[in-house]
Amino acid sequence: MSNRTPPAAELLTRPDVGVVVKTITPTQRGRVQYQATSWPACLYGVTTSITVEPDQPVKILGRRGLTLLIQPLALEKEGELPLP
């Protein structure tokens, strides 16, 4: 067993936009295309049970290690997500 602490979340000072390439749910990481590269990604600050499907745009809020922390843009526009 490892006693390593998981890396802390590093939030961007200015969120950016990426596009989902592999489905993301609250319990399942997926992948996001960002800056010409595919990155592992997970939902961040989402309190509803949602699924983000491929080709949907997402707001990239930061990262934890090599995993991007994202929120779906569609729900933000509908006012269903709190902004961090």
Q: Report the predicted TM-score, pTM, of the whole model to 2 decimal places.
A: 0.83
Specify the pLDDT at position 76: 61
Specify the pLDDT at position 84: 46
The residue whose two tokens read 């809020």 is 61
Average pLDDT, 10 consecutive residues per value, the chain (84 residues): 79 95 96 97 90 96 96 71 48
